[in-house]
Each structure stands twice: as structure tokens, then as C-alpha cells.
Chains A and B, each alone.
Chain A
Amino acid sequence: MWAFLGSDVMFFGAFIATYLVYRGKSLNGPYPSEILNIPITSVSTFVLLMSSLAMVLGLHYVKEGQKNKGTLWILAVVVLGAVFMGFQFVEFREFAHEGLTPRTNLFGTTFFILTGIHGAHVTIGVIWMAFLAYGSHKGALRSDNALDLEIAGLYWHFVDIVWIVIFTVIYLISANDGPPAGIESILHG
């Protein structure tokens, strides 16, 4: 699993690098400063962070052998993950409504593909967790094979950490990005 995560680090790394290279190079709006809604995304980030906490608690109780508490916390992970995806869905729709699509400009291209790929990871995680919650409910997930959950948890924490990086580079450091300097000469040069 660690090897897989290493692989995934390269994967996200390259996408984030692309985003950073293209940051502030969009030739036309909407620019990040005009469209990003940091308070709302902060809430969804908080939701995702809480899901990691739930993950830790779920693993703890499964290892302790407390089946019901374990199931409950794993279920919490599923719900929180789904809420996060809901936020992302609403955000995507809102952006499209305001005229930002992957085809609009470089910001749109890099933003949608990067957060979309992350969203796909979260979705896979949610489905995986739902399976594990079901397994835990049925009593198939026990303290002796908690490794299954531990691996899933590793994945979940990883996806969470990646989001913190994405949140930092997209929402925090480029929140005020407008058109690139000298855009006139780029467009008409």
C-alpha cells in the first residue's frame, strides 16, 4: 500500500505542478480571484478533515473489537466523504454557471482536472468505506483482520492530505490571482 501511495504521490504531484506552472497564465477570465469561494470550501475542507478523525476512531474501535461503535464511525467517514463530494458537485455547477469550464482558460483546465481527479479518489474511498462499513456491520471485519481497514484508512488519510495541499495551492495562494501581467502584449503581440 505504501508503494501504491508513493505512486499516487507522483500522480498528484505532476497535476499540482501543472497547476502551479500555469497559475496566473490564463488569457481570459474568469480568474481565480473572481470565482473562488474560500469560506464555503473551508467548510468542506473541515468536513474532510473530520472524516479522517472518524477514520482514526473507527479503526480504533474495530481493533478494540467494539463492533457497533466501529461500524458507526466508518459510516461517519462515508457520510462525511459524501458531504464533501456534495460540496464539490455544487461548486462545479456554480462555476460552470458563472462561465468557468475546463475549456474556458488554463485556470479552468487545471482546476477542474486536478480537483476532479481528487474527487474521483474520494468517491472510490467512499465506496470502499461503504463496503467496509457493511462488512463491519455483518461482523466480517474484526480486530484480527483490521488490516483491511487500516489499509483503507491509509488511503483515506492520503486523499485527505492531498486535499490539504490542493486547498493550499488553489484556494489559499492563488485566491487573488487575476489576469497575468502584460496580458495585452500576450494577446496582441
Chain B
Amino acid sequence: MTIKSLTLPQLFPRPKSSTGIWSWIGTVDHKRIGTLYGITAFIWFIVGGIEALLIRAQLASAENDLIDPETYNQLFTMHGTTMVFLVIMPLSAAFFNWLIPLQIGSRDVAFPRLNAVSFWIFLFGSLIINASWITGNAPNGGWFGYAPNSSTTFNPGMGMTYWVVGLNILGVASIAAGLNFIVTILNMRAPGMSMFKIPIFTWMTLITSILIVLAMPVLAVAGIQLQTDRVYGTLFFDSLGGGDPVMWQHIFWLFGHPEVYILILPAMGIVSEVLPTFARKPLFGYPFVVFAGAVIGFMGWFVWSHHMFTVGLGPAANTAFSISTMLIAVPTGVKIFNWLGTLWGGNIRLNTPMLFSISFIAMFTIGGLSGVMHASPPTDAQQQDTYFVVAHFHYVLVGGALLGIFSGIYFWWPKFTGWFLNEKLGIVNWALMLIGFNFTFAPMHWLGMDGMPRRIYTYAENMGWEGSNLAASIGGMILGLGILVFIINVFYSKMNKQIAGSDPWDGRTLEWSTTSPPPPHDFDVIPQVRYRDDFWFTKYPETISEYFHDDHDQAVPSGAQFDDHDHDPLVVSGGADDHDDDHGHGGIHLPDMSYYPFILAFGIAIFGIGFLTNTYIIGIGAPFFLWGLIGWSMEPVNDPE
């Protein structure tokens, strides 16, 4: 989109300083953007966690009146929304940003400024959603926003408008980031790194990004329809005007189920990196794991109605979606067995990242098994919208995604910072989290089977739910304590730095070949890739024959075989040109910093505020938006030197 030789006057001086707040606002460095994502998401994680603890405090005893129902509805709506959109997705995005260029041997992502704009839009979107707490109108219609309960008729406050405007803004950020990573992974791999030599985390990122790019527009459609319903009085989901509430569910879950895999696949990718490293063995059955991930990503589009088994779609639809849902358990099972195969016969070092990753398998298995139980519509009729489902998806998203992310944090922290997180505190952190997690969510299984519905702010004394609820609330506190230990660990380790070298864990992939932390340009020399786990085989060339001994098709490949035909010219644009001219020789060109992404995102944020308050405010956002857009397209990626 850049027309480089157009010379309009620079509307804004280019940021130059490399320290201070302006250096962060103007940054286009994927590592710094990753850090921004990580810190922001972690702050929202604490906010979402506090919301969860308040919920647990309210439910600790029967007929408790600590929190009134309106506030309670706001809390669980924001807890779900925050954890999904403001925590797990951006924490994954932090890893994508940090690791993808490092893992594929590149100096940055394909579109560094687009990357920056994604983050700023995400930041503003998350602020807009949470600003609702300050105005006293937090969303209260559930993170699923079911119509018609989310309409202005039944929900006249501003809460759900905040929710839908915020989600639409976040959607823009996610799509932009998703596009960026697809293009990066397809086009910017180091020479010789064919698709079946990229690290498994990169594969999972690619699949996740494709899912994001295809699923978020569906959410955007649902969001725009709900937004026009709420703001302009259209009739999409207005049952009084003939609009069908089931329509919302179809659109929302058509987005919502792929979203589940958007949340879990990055964690699976992290675990698939940690297990081989600490078992000191290659991932068992790499093609199977990749294929299983792709199959999950594909089949994730055909199971959405299992969220709707009780909506009354009829036995034929329930049969079809039941079968497709059960089938999706197969690739998931394959992954679990392959992870076990990876561990089998290894020399397993049980460091903190490994403990988290092994716990991931253990907990995710539980979540998967309970998932099979409500893949069966007759049993789901008793489980749908009960605490059994709450238990299930927390085993998948906390026991799965979150433990995986913590594993990744402990694993790559030395790479990000150059120093270790303390091992003893790490093990305390892990133990508290795992124990607290199980105490919180295991009892919810029997609560569900004992008939406790979700989203109720209180319950009667004679239902027999008090013991389990109290256990869950105590467990929640322990889990919170575990997170607290993590925060302490970060500060403790920062004060008592234990310096890590470039390759502290005896790693297998390219990111361990550069220094910790990596230089701004990532690699002094762009690596030439010959094998899967290239760095390992470079360190231990004598093991190459072990890996390839019974696989004659791949028999010890020699040298670079960069297949140019998947280098699609149409996707290269903008910032990709820092890659072409410099592997190993010549100067290193990095994209220069820019304020325009920030200005552009700011304009979009004003649009959002305009939808919430007064249409004229959208007009105020427009100049910022255009300024950002025009400034961006006129500004060359690099100033002439």
C-alpha cells in the first residue's frame, strides 16, 4: 500500500529515541510489541481474576447477599469476556509476537507497523470495555450475549453496548494480527525452512491465525447486527419484530467454537515445544501432531451447534453435530498420545516449565473427557448450562490454555529477559496453582450433576450445594495465591538475577541460537536451515542419523531447499522488503519506528466512544483515523539513509 516516492510533508516527526515512553508508543519491534501484549494481558488477567474471586466469594454459602444480582451478572459477563478476549488471546499474541520471527529465523514480522496497530487497537478496545465499570454500566448479558436478553428492550442500560463496541474493536485488532502472522509464516521463513521444518509452535500459530482471520469476521457480523439493533433500532434479533433469537446463537457459535481452538491451539504449541526440550527427545510424530492441529482447526467449523443441543434444533441436527463433536475428540486424543510418546524413553528434567506442561496434559485430558460426555445430546440435556459445563471448559481453558501459557512463560522467560525466573518459587507457584485449580473446578462437576445451573447469583439452602461451593471458593483463593507467587517470583528474580545464557535449556529451535535477550535485529546472520529442530542437530550432528534412520524419504537432506513456489508474490507488500537483501551479508535493515499506528488506533478508539455516546464524536475520531492512515501510507518504511 505504500507509494514510496510520494513526498508529502511529514505530518509528524519520526520517533527516534530508543528509551522512554515515546519509544514504546512508536515501536514496531515485534519483541517490544510482544512485551506490551504480555504486560497488558497480564493486567487484565489480574482484573479478570479478581472478578472470579468475587464470584466465588458470593457463591461460598447459600443465600449469600454479599453481591447483588445485577453486579453479579456484570461480574460473570466481564470475567468471561476478559479472560477470553483480553487475557488468553493477547497472551497467545504475546508469544506469537515474541517467538514467530525468532523461530522462523526472521528479523521481524511481515508488516511491523500493522503489528503495532493491532496492539494499540487491542489496548484501546480493552480499555473501552472496562471503562464500563467506571461509568457503572458494565455489560450484564453474559459473554455470549444471547438475544433477545441483550436487546435494549430487556437490557436498556449501556452495558451491552460497551460490550459489542469493545468486541468489534478487538475483532479488528485480532484480524490484523492474524493476517500478519499468516503472511509472516508463509513468506519470511529462513532459507531452507520448508513448511515441514518449522517448529510446532509456529504451526499452531499459523492454524490459530487462519482461524482468527476466518472466525473474527463472523463475530464482527454478529456484533454489527447487535450494535445496529441496539443503536439504530434494526430488527436482526428483535423477536417482537420477527427477528430470530436462534439466529444470534448460530452466528455467535459459528464464531465461538473456532474461538475455543484459537484459545487452546497456541497452548498446545507451547507444550509441544516444552516437552521435547525437557525430555531431550524430538516431538514424537511431528507430522501427526501438525495434521491433528490442522484437522482440529478444520473440524472446529462443523461443531458449533453442540452449544445448542437444548435449543430444539431437532433430532437430526443433534445427531449430526453430536457425531462431528465426537470426531473432533480424535485428533485431540492423537495429540495427547503423541505427547506421551515424546516423554516415553526420555531423560525428563522436571523443571517448572515441564511441570506446567505435564500438568497441562493431565488437566486437559480431564477437560477432554468431560467434553465427550456432553457431546452426547441426551446427557448434555442434563449438563447444558450447569456447573458441569463450567468445570469442563475451565479444565480446558485454565487447566489447558493457562497452564500451557505459564509453561511458556517459565520456558521462554530467560530468552525474553536474559535471566531465569526462580525455580523454587516457580515450583511453589505451580503446586499452588494446580492444587487450587483442582479444588476450584473438580467440585463443579458434581455441582452440575447435582443440578446447579450456571449464572445464578445465589442458591437455596436445601439443595445440597453448599459443601462443594465452599470447596470451590477456597480453591479459588489458593489458585489466586499461586498467581500471587508468580508475581512475587518475577520481582524476586529481577532483584536476584540469575543470568541465563543464550541456550539455557538445551533447546531445539532457532530462537535459542541467538542471544538472550535477542538483539533488535534478532539474528546477526540469518540462519540456513537444513532440518526440523535445526539448532539441536547443529549442536549434536551425531544424532541426525537416529532421527532419519528409518525414514528413507527424507534421508539426510543436504543443504538449503527453499521451495520458492509457496512464496506467493501477492501477499508481499509493505514491510517485507527488509528480508530480501540481507541474509548473511550487507547491512541489516530494520523498519523505522512510527507513531502512525498509535494515531490510527486512537482514531478507531474515538469511533468506538462515538458509538457509545454521541454520533458526532465519530466525527472527532475521523481526523485522527485519516491522519494515521494517510501519514502511514505516505511514510516510507525506512527513511532514506
Q: Which residue of B lies closest to A186 (CB)?
A: B242
Q: Are A22 and B244 in contact (CB under 8 A)?
A: yes
Q: Scan residues 387-441 of chain B and give those whose CB is less than 8 A from a CB of chain A.
A: none
Are B179's CB and A135's CB within 8 A? Answer: no
Cβ-defined contact, B3 with A113, below 8 A: no
The smallest beta-carbon distance between B208 and chain A, in angstroms, is 13
A147 CA to B573 CA in the complex, in Å? 8
B residues within 8 A CB of A3?
A: 178-179, 182-183, 210, 213, 571
Contacts of A140 in B (CB 8 A): 3-6
> Does B553 belong to the interface (CB within 8 Å)?
no
> Is B49 part of the binding interface, using a Cβ–Cβ cutoff of 8 Å?
no
Determine the chain B residues whose CB is within 8 A of the CB of A135 once the complex forms: 3, 6
Q: How far is the CA of A109 from the CA of B243 in the complex (A)?
A: 10
Measured CA separation A138–B7 after assembly (Å)? 11
B3/A148 in contact, CB under 8 A: yes
Establish whether residues A138 and B568, one from each chain, have CB atoms under 8 Å apart when the complex forms.
no
Assess whether A21 is interfacial by the CB under 8 Å rule. yes
Closest Cβ–Cβ distance, residue A88 to chain B (whole Å): 18
Evaluate contact between B570 and A113: CB separation under 8 angstroms: no
B633 is an interface residue with CB less than 8 A from chain A: yes
Distance (whole angstroms) from the CB of B572 to the closest CB of chain A = 8
Q: Does the CB pair A18–B570 fall under 8 Å?
A: no
Set of chain B residues within 8 Å of A132, measured between Cβ atoms: 3
Query: Any chain B CB within 8 A of the CB of A141?
Result: yes
> At the interface with chain A, which of B221-229, B269-277, B491-499, B537-545?
B221-229
- Contacting residue for A2 out of B2, B215, B228, B568, CB 8 A: B568
Say if the beta carbon of A130 comes within 8 Å of chain B.
no
Alpha-carbon separation in the docked complex, A138 to B179 (Å): 31
Q: B233 touching A103 by the CB < 8 A rule?
A: yes
In the complex, which residue of chain A has the Cβ closest to the Cβ of B229?
A: A109
How many B residues, CB 8 Å from partner? 43
Interface code B182-196, partner A: CB below 8 Å = 1, 0 otherwise? 110000000000000
Interface residues of B in 41-91 (CB under 8 A from A): none
- Given the complex of chains A and B, what is the CA–CA distance between A103 and B236 in angstroms? 10
Q: Does A167 contact B (CB under 8 A)?
A: no
* Proximity bits, B303-316, A CB within 8 Å = 1, else 0: 00000000000000
Q: Which residue of A is nearest B186, CB measured?
A: A3
Q: Does more than half of chain B's interface fall in helix, strand or loop, or is it mixed?
A: helix
* Residues from chain A with Cβ under 8 Å of B570 in the complex: 1-2, 147, 150-151, 154
Within 8 A of A (CB), among B215-256: 215-218, 220-222, 224-225, 228, 232-236, 241-244, 247, 251, 254
Given the complex, which residues of B lie within 8 Å of A47, measured CB to CB? none
B295: Cβ under 8 A from any A Cβ? no
Cβ proximity bits A6-33 to B, threshold 8 Å, 1 near / 0 not: 1110110011001001100111000000
Question: Residue of A at shortest CB range from B246?
Answer: A21
Residues of A contacting B242 in the complex (Cβ-Cβ under 8 angstroms): 22, 25-27, 105-106, 186
Question: Does A89 lie at the interface of the complex (its beta carbon under 8 Å from any beta carbon of B)?
Answer: no
Interface size on A, residues (CB 8 A): 40
Q: What's the Cα separation between A94 and B183 when bound, in Å?
A: 44
The yes or no answer to B214 lying at the interface (CB within 8 A) is yes
From known contacts A106-B243, A140-B3, A148-B1, infer whether A18 and B214 are also in contact, taking CB-CB under 8 Å.
no
Taking a contact as CB atoms under 8 Å apart, the answer to whether B3 and A7 are in contact is: no
Closest residue on chain A to residue B572 by CB atoms? A147
Which residue of chain B is the closest to A135 with respect to CB atoms? B3
B216 contacts across to A, CB distance below 8 A? 7
Give the distance to chain B from A148, nearest Cβ to Cβ, in Å.
Answer: 7
Q: Is the pair B225, A148 in contact by a Cβ cutoff of 8 Å? A: no
Query: Chain B nearest CB: distance from A67 CB in Å?
Result: 14
Residues of A within 8 A of B214 (CB): 6-7, 10
Q: State which of B217, B232, B633 has its C-beta within 8 Å of the C-beta of A8.
A: B217
| Chain A residue nearest in CB terms to B217 | A11
Q: How far is the CB of A184 from chain B (nearest CB, A)?
A: 14
CB of A1 within 8 A of CB of B569, answer no
In the complex, the chain B residue whose C-beta lies closest to that of A152 is: B1
- Interface presence of B328 (CB below 8 A): no
Q: Are B5 and A14 in contact (CB under 8 A)?
A: no
CB neighbours (8 Å) of A21 from chain B are 244, 247
Q: Contacts of A8 on B, CB cut-off 8 Å?
A: 217
* A46 contacts B by Cβ under 8 Å: no
CB-CB under 8 A from B232, the residues of chain A are 102-103
Complex CA distance for A103 and B179, rounded to whole angstroms? 35
Interface string of B252-280 (1 = CB under 8 A from A): 00100000000000000000000000000
Interface membership of B283, Cβ < 8 A: no
The chain B residue with its CB closest to the CB of A183 is B242
**Residues of chain B contacted by A131 (CB below 8 angstroms):** 3, 633
A109 CA to B244 CA in the complex, in Å? 13
Is the pair B6, A113 in contact by a Cβ cutoff of 8 Å?
no
Residues on A with beta carbons closer than 8 Å to the beta carbon of B633: 131
Are B179 and A4 interface neighbours, CB within 8 A? yes
Could you give, for residues 201-218 of chain B, a 1 whenever the CB lies within 8 Å of some chain A CB and a 0 otherwise? Answer: 000000000100111111
Would you list which residues of chain B between 163 and 187 have a CB under 8 Å from chain A? 175, 178-179, 182-183
Cα A152 to Cα B555 with chains together (Å): 44
Report the Cα distance A108→B228, complex, angstroms: 12
**CB-based nearest B residue for A27:** B242
> Contact between A113 and B217 (Cβ–Cβ < 8 Å)?
no
Assuming the A-B contacts A11-B220, A22-B244, A154-B570, are A109 and B251 also in contact, with contact meaning beta carbons closer than 8 angstroms in the complex?
no
Specify the chain A residue showing the minimal Cβ separation from B569: A147
B236 and A14 within 8 A (CB): no
CB distance from B621 to the nearest CB of A (A): 16
Residue interface bits B539-574, CB-to-A below 8 A is 1, else 0 = 000000000000000000000000000001111110
Chain B residue, CB-CB nearest to A8:
B217
Q: Which residues of B contact A150 (CB under 8 A)?
A: 570
Query: What's the minimum C-beta distance from B209 to chain A, rounded to whole angstroms?
Result: 8
Contact with B along A105-117 (1 / 0, CB 8 A): 1101110110001
Report the bound CA distance from A12 to B179 in whole Å.
18
Beta-carbon contact of B235 and A109 below 8 Å = yes
User: How many Å from the CB of B34 to the closest CB on chain A?
Assistant: 21
Q: Is the CB of B235 within 8 A of A141?
A: no
* Residues in A whose Cβ lies below 8 Å from that of B217: 7-8, 10-11, 14
- Cβ B6 vs Cβ A18 within 8 A: no
Q: How far is the CA of A102 from the CA of B241 in the complex (A)?
A: 12
CB pair A10 B218 closer than 8 Å: yes
- Cα(A113)–Cα(B234), bound, Å: 9
Interface of A with B (CB < 8 Å)? 1-4, 6-8, 10-11, 14-15, 18, 21-22, 25-27, 102-103, 105-106, 108-110, 112-113, 117, 131-132, 135, 138, 140-141, 145, 147-148, 150-151, 154, 186
Interface residues of B (CB under 8 A from A): 1-6, 175, 178-179, 182-183, 210, 213-218, 220-222, 224-225, 228, 232-236, 241-244, 247, 251, 254, 568-573, 633
List 21 contacting pairs A-B, 8 Å CB cutoff, sorted by A.
A3-B178, A3-B182, A6-B213, A7-B216, A10-B214, A10-B217, A10-B218, A22-B242, A22-B244, A26-B242, A102-B233, A103-B235, A109-B228, A110-B236, A117-B224, A132-B3, A135-B3, A145-B4, A147-B569, A147-B572, A150-B570
Question: 8 nearest interchain CB pairs?
Answer: A11-B217, A14-B221, A109-B234, A10-B217, A103-B233, A109-B235, A102-B234, A27-B242
Q: A14-B251, A135-B3, A145-B4 are in contact. List 19 more A-B contacts (CB 8 A).
A: A1-B570, A2-B570, A3-B210, A3-B213, A4-B179, A14-B221, A22-B243, A22-B247, A105-B242, A106-B235, A109-B228, A113-B224, A113-B234, A117-B224, A140-B6, A147-B570, A147-B573, A148-B3, A186-B242
